[in-house]
């Protein structure tokens, strides 16, 4: 598709349509969301960020025609139960929902809808239900010791995404996780070595491109050297410029030089070596000065969610929407991190504020046009104009593709490392008697369908032993659950226990692990990060590390425990707990 076509398309857009194209909004659930009509059809929002496994409270469905004449009180209500889960559907059914969004957007404007998603691996992903192939975390791909498999996994994931109607992914993760106490990045990074991150991320980005998915490198310029979580705080990474350039920015430089990075997502973090006042998302020095001018990045710059603590602790979201555009971003993501959904109130205010800024030359329209053109160009390069974003393959054809099945099994199997077997327990003999303690995760992280559910570890272990007992806890055991464990644990010489970590308030079950070891129990720990603070205590003598919990990695871990195979994963980082 030539440049003239894109310029002609740009020239047909009204100012409101141009502004709308910069906005990405959350659309949650597995079935049709009526809020889509207000977001995209009324306010021309160019992208949606899907969250199929969750349902946020969505109080208003926008009607621009009424709001324009001051009749906000006639907006439709759409209030879900606070604790309601999204309906369980197949991937094919979900694809039909997304197809409806794609067709409505194309009919409205003739411009494809960008449908963004996360699929970082393990618990951090949007597609797990309905038989989806779930891959390990980036660090798990490095454990497989084969960059080509990073390409194969990304290509397989990209095909699955496009079959569902999704066309823009918030990966590869280019953070270099040099801080073992990082609460936010950990195994989401490929490694704590910049050159390894660059090598594997380049292959992953190429895999996405081959599948027609727009890759987004994040979190620029790098969130690996942090002890704070930007979802809730304003982190400051106080490193010198040479370190930033040669370490944190190295993966970006490699991908940009290889024309493998169509988009970049910004970090809500302050880097005093470049700008000691603003987070990168709002910093002209960082976005225009470093990314555009010094690194010669020509692609799309998007923000992380503007409802994160790294933004709203300093600015209201409407102000942040304008400031990030003035700083150099091309699009912004409207999402709150506390589960609330204030988007219906924000969109008209943000559109009005940006429109006024363009009219007053605070944001020159020529600069706005450059942003819109870059977005359209990314669509063209991914082939979205020809297809309207509609799937070229069926979901079932992709799920049943034998090559994808083999890739999934291989990368999951090789993402597991044996860290310690100090009590020489492994492999266990068939029909070993043991107590299995397994964590239960909320449905947004574990679909609780026939493919992945609480108790799946126990079921996989039972293939080898009929002498296993089972106790289930929350990700962090409650006092009542701990008491249940203590009531029964003395009847067992051996305990097999998951100690899977997830960020925010999920954490891990480390306190219970330490209490059991203090009681003299032999415990085999299944951890999912390589870090002591998160899930591998010094006192843990027998540790298997799954670098991305998935159904296939759980199956492989059971095989390793009972000796069907050995752990093949290579330790992916320099740090060891």
Same domain flag for 257 and 315: yes
The 10s digit of each residue's pLDDT in 118-147 is 999 988 889 999 999 999 999 999 999 999
DSSP code for 562: T
For 426-473, give the DSSP string: PSPPTT--EEEEEEE--TTTS--BTTB-TTHHHHHHTTT-S-EEEEEE
The parent domain of residue 199 ranges over 167-330
**Which pLDDT band holds residue 84 (cuts at 50, 70, 90)?**
confident
The answer to whether residue 62 scores a pLDDT higher than 90 is no
CA angle 264, 270, 271 (to 5 degrees): 85
- Let me know whether 457 and 531 are in one domain: yes
Residues 174, 311, single domain; the answer is yes
Domain for residue 351, yes or no? Answer: yes
CA angle 119, 120, 125 (to 5 degrees): 45
Residues 541 and 303: their CA atoms lie apart, in Å, by: 42
Please report, rounded to a whole number, the percentage of residues in the chain having pLDDT higher than 90: 82
pLDDT tens readout for residues 260-284: 999 999 999 999 999 999 999 999 9
Q: Are residues 354 and 423 in the same domain?
A: no
**Do 422 and 457 share a domain, yes or no?**
yes
Q: What is the pLDDT of residues 217-257, one digit of tens each?
A: 999 999 999 988 888 889 999 999 999 999 999 999 999 99
Tell me, yes or no, whether 155 lies in a domain: no
How crowded is residue 396: how many other Cβ atoms within 10 Å of its Cβ?
14
For 182-228, the pLDDT digits (tens) are: 989 999 999 999 999 999 999 999 999 999 999 999 999 999 999 88
| Strands annotated E in 308-342 | 331-336
Active-site residue set: 231, 304
Model confidence at 49, in pLDDT bands (50, 70, 90)? Answer: very high
Query: How high does pLDDT run on average in the chain?
Result: 94
Assign 1 a pLDDT band (cuts: 50, 70, 90).
low
Determine, yes or no, domain membership for 149: no
Residue 92 and residue 184 share a domain: no
Q: Quick one: 315 and 371 in the same domain?
A: no
pTM of this structure = 0.96
* Residues 345 and 368 both lie in one domain: yes
Q: Do 321 and 351 lie in a common domain?
A: no
* pLDDT in the model for residue 520: 95
Q: Give a yes or no: residue 319 inside a domain.
A: yes
250 and 324 belong to one structural domain: yes
């Amino acid at each position: 598709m030539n440049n003239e076509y894109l310029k002609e398309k740009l020239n047909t857009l009204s100012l409101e349509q141009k502004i709308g194209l910069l906005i990405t909004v959350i659309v949650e659930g597995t079935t049709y969301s009526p809020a889509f009509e207000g977001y995209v059809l009324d306010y021309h929002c160019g992208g949606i960020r899907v969250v199929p496994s969750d349902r946020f409270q969505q109080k208003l469905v926008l009607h621009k025609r009424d709001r324009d004449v001051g009749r906000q009180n006639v907006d439709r209500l759409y209030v879900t139960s606070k604790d309601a889960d999204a309906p369980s559907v197949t991937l094919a059914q979900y694809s039909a929902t997304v197809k409806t969004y794609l067709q409505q957007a194309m009919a409205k404007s003739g411009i494809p809808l960008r449908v963004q998603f996360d699929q970082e691996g393990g618990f951090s992903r949007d597609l797990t239900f309905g038989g989806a192939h779930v891959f390990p975390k980036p660090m798990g791909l490095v454990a497989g010791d084969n960059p080509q498999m990073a390409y194969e996994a990304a290509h397989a994931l990209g095909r699955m995404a496009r079959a569902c109607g999704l066309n823009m992914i918030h990966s590869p993760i280019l953070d270099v996780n040099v801080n073992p106490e990082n609460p936010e990045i950990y195994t989401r990074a490929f490694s704590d070595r910049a050159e390894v991150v660059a090598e594997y991320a380049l292959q992953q980005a190429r895999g996405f491109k081959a599948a027609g998915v727009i890759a987004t490198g994040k979190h620029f310029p790098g969130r690996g050297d942090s002890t704070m979580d930007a979802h809730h705080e304003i982190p400051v990474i106080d490193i010198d410029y040479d370190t930033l350039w040669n370490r944190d920015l190295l993966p970006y430089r490699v991908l940009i030089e290889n024309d493998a990075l169509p988009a970049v997502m910004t970090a809500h973090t302050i880097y005093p070596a470049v700008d000691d006042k603003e987070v990168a998302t709002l910093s002209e020095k960082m976005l225009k000065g470093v990314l555009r001018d010094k690194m010669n990045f020509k692609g799309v710059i998007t923000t992380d969610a503007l409802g994160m603590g790294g933004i709203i602790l300093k600015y209201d979201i409407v102000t942040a929407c304008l400031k990030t555009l003035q700083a150099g971003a091309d699009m912004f993501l409207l999402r709150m991190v506390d589960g609330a959904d204030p988007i219906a109130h924000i969109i008209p205010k943000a559109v009005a504020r940006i429109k006024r800024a363009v009219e007053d030359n605070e944001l020159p329209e020529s600069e706005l046009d450059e942003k819109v053109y870059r977005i359209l160009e990314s669509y063209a390069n991914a082939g979205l104009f020809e297809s309207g974003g509609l799937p070229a393959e069926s979901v079932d054809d992709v799920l049943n593709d034998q090559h994808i099945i083999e890739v999934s099994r291989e990368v999951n199997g090789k993402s597991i490392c044996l860290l310690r077997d100090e009590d020489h327990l492994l492999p266990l003999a068939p029909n070993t008697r043991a107590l299995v303690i397994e964590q239960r995760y909320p449905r947004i992280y574990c679909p609780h369908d026939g493919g992945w559910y609480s108790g799946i570890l126990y079921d996989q272990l039972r293939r080898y032993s009929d002498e296993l007992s089972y106790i289930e806890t929350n990700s962090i055991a409650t006092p009542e659950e701990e008491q249940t464990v203590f009531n029964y644990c003395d009847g067992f010489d051996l305990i097999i226990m998951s100690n899977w970590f997830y960020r925010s308030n999920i954490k891990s079950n480390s306190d219970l692990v330490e209490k059991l070891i203090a009681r003299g129990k032999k415990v085999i720990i299944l951890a999912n990060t390589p870090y002591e603070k998160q899930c591998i205590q010094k006192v843990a003598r027998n540790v298997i590390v799954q670098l991305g919990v998935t159904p296939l990695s759980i199956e492989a871990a059971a095989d390793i425990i009972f000796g069907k195979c050995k752990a093949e994963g290579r330790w992916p980082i320099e740090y060891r707990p």
